């Protein structure tokens, strides 16, 4: 955190290693984990010490550099072969957020295209990871401001509902959905943020609420099942969520519960925005049915702390993401502006790497 502004940065490169805020311990403990080896970065992504689509892309980019610097050979082909294995390890951590695969591909492309000594390739890989990191922060600011520009004009001060955590913790800083919230707050257009607690891992209750408290953004936490009732009571003006992977037709994978939120928003005639960088768009997938959905340990459902919630003998199903059909999305807000899901395909050539 930057103490003069209370801005949160979940990933910091310093002293030749990466500091990650340990997001599994928030809000009770605000601690950092130092990562200097590729294997530790892979574990940090898998165990969700770092999570959120853009953040795991940035973390994987640094992981690629950490893996590269562990390779001790002067032979270019041997180096690239080893680096492919580093890439495989990082790719195996989480399947849904495409930013992870996008960042690893960009790092591999950099390695293949850089001529010169192995040491020079390693240096270029570090430069590229830092560029991906910085670009993500800049992209989030642009998404925030582009989202602000398309928010409904009335009422003057809006109540926004969000799901999961698409904030500074989930990105290089500022956030995507929370970037829109931050820009609205800055311009006096935010009355209040409603944050779904986001079962089962509670990213809304634990992380989004914590981020808001750091900056004095007014926030109300509700359980996921309360969203429809809040809409019926007229408490919500607009929904803004992040994304883990957007197919070419605009179908959007995001944290489990997003799809039902989009349905209740539609039933109440409330605009539903997805805020995400173009690196989250997977133009190779024609629609959302092809997006791989991560299934996580059922422990996340039946256990809170040391308390077991459910009788033994029960079966569980724990998909971590769902897919919201494009027709339920009012607008997709990116660093290049906000547009309808149908217009997304026009932006294919603007996607870097
Ligand atoms: O499982 P998580 O916590 O990594 O899931 C995160 C989300 O679903 C976010 O909404 C998404 O990655 C967008 S983050 C800017």
Closest CA to 330 of 338, 320, 319: 338
Mean of the pLDDT values across residues 182-204? 98
pLDDT at 347: 86
- Beta-carbon contacts of 225 under 8 Å, excluding residues fewer than 6 positions away, are none
Q: Is the peptide bond before 276 cis (omega within 30 degrees of 0)?
A: no
Go through the domains of the chain in sequence order and give each one's CATH number.
11-139 (1.20.120.420), 153-352 (3.40.50.10470)
Q: Is the peptide bond before 337 cis (omega within 30 degrees of 0)?
A: no
DSSP 273: E
**Is the pLDDT at 297 greater than 90, yes or no?**
yes
**Is the pLDDT at 288 greater than 70, yes or no?**
yes
pLDDT in tens, 228-255: 999 999 999 999 999 999 999 999 999 9
pLDDT at 305: 87
pLDDT bin (cut points 50, 70, 90) of residue 353 is low
Relative to the CA of 177, which ligand 1 atom is closest? 15
Mean of the pLDDT values across residues 158-179? 98
Q: Which residues line the pocket of ligand 1, CB cutoff 6 A?
A: 51-54, 97, 164, 166, 170-171, 176, 203, 242-244, 254-255, 320
pLDDT in tens, 79-107: 999 999 999 999 999 999 999 999 999 99
pLDDT bin (cut points 50, 70, 90) of residue 121 is very high
For 2, the 3-state DSSP assignment is strand
Active site amino acids:
244
Distance 167 CA to ligand 1 centre (A): 9
Closest CA to 161 of 141, 180, 145: 180
pLDDT at 56: 98
Question: What distances in angstroms separate CA 161 from CA 123, 193, 238, 297, one per listed residue?
Answer: 43, 6, 6, 28
Residue of 143, 244, 261 best suited for mutating to test ligand 1, as the one with most atoms within 8 Å of CB: 244
Relative to the CA of 97, which ligand 1 atom is closest? 12
Tell me whether residue 192 is annotated as binding: no
Closest CA to 148 of 125, 175, 181: 181
**Is the pLDDT at 3 greater than 70, yes or no?**
no
**Is the pLDDT at 7 greater than 90, yes or no?**
no
């Amino acid at each position: 955190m930057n103490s003069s502004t209370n801005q949160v940065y979940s990933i910091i490169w310093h002293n030749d290693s990466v500091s990650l805020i340990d997001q599994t311990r928030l809000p009770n403990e605000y601690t950092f984990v130092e990562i200097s080896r590729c294997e530790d970065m892979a574990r940090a992504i898998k165990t969700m010490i770092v999570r959120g689509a853009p953040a795991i892309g940035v973390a994987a980019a640094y992981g690629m550099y950490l893996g590269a610097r562990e390779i001790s050979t002067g032979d270019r082909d041997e180096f690239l072969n080893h680096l492919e294995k580093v890439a495989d390890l990082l790719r195996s951590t989480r399947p849904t957020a495409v930013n992870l695969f996008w960042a690893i591909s960009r790092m591999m492309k950099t390695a293949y295209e850089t001529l010169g000594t192995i040491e020079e390739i390693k240096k270029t890989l570090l430069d590229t990871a830092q560029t991906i990191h910085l670009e993500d922060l800049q992209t989030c600011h642009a998404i925030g401001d582009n989202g602000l520009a398309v928010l409904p004009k009335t009422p003057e001060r809006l109540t926004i509902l969000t799901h999961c955590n698409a904030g500074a913790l989930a990105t290089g800083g500022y956030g995507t959905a929370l970037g829109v919230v931050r820009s609205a707050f800055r311009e006096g257009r935010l009355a209040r943020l409603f944050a779904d607690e986001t079962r089962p891992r509670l990213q809304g209750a634990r992380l989004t609420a914590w981020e808001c408290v750091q900056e004095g953004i007014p926030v109300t936490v509700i359980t996921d099942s309360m969203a429809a009732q809040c809409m019926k009571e007229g408490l919500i003006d607009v929904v803004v969520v992040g994304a883990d992977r957007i197919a070419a037709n605009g179908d959007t994978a995001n944290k489990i519960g997003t799809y039902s939120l989009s349905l209740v928003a539609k039933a109440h005639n409330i605009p539903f925005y997805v805020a995400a960088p173009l690196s989250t768009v997977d133009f190779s997938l024609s629609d959302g049915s092809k997006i791989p959905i991560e299934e996580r340990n059922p422990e996340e459902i039946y256990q809170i702390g040391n308390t077991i919630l459910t009788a033994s003998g029960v079966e569980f199903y724990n998909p971590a993401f769902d897919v919201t059909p494009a027709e339920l999305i009012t607008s997709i807000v990116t660093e290049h502006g906000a547009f309808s899901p149908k217009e997304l395909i026009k932006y294919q050539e603007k996607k870097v790497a």
